[in-house]
């Protein structure tokens, strides 16, 4: 039974983390005065994927995070720091 409970706790933490990252991504995009389409173009990602990330529906890979930092023209550490501090 504890395995099921651990899985549920981890699933909730994953959802919370992805939503938190998505909110900070959207805030950073708006602060940069970019549309989802503009950020997608600058980062080489699809606009729908940007929306999925902002809603916390996708779990970005390291390569996606690097593409986003390129799109924002900021260090990857800044994206992470803004999301989790």
Q: Which CATH class is domain 2-84?
A: mainly alpha
Contacts 24+ apart (CB under 8 A), 54-63: 54/22, 54/23, 54/25, 54/26, 54/29, 55/19, 55/22, 56/15, 56/18, 56/19, 56/20, 56/21, 56/22, 56/23, 57/18, 57/22, 58/18, 59/14, 59/18, 60/21
Q: Where are the domains of the chain?
A: 2-84
pLDDT computed for residue 36 by the predictor: 98
Q: pLDDT by residue (tens digit) across 1-59?
A: 566 667 677 778 888 999 999 999 999 999 999 999 999 999 999 999 999 999 999 99
pTM of the model: 0.86
């Amino acid at each position: 039974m504890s395995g099921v409970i651990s899985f549920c706790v981890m699933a909730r933490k994953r959802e919370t983390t992805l939503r938190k990252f998505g909110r900070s991504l959207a805030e950073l995009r708006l602060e940069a005065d970019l549309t989802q389409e503009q950020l997608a173009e600058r980062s080489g990602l699809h606009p729908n994927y940007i929306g999925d990330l902002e809603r916390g529906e996708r779990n970005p890979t390291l390569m996606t995070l690097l593409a986003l930092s390129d799109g924002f023209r900021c260090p990857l550490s800044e994206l992470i720091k803004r999301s989790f501090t």
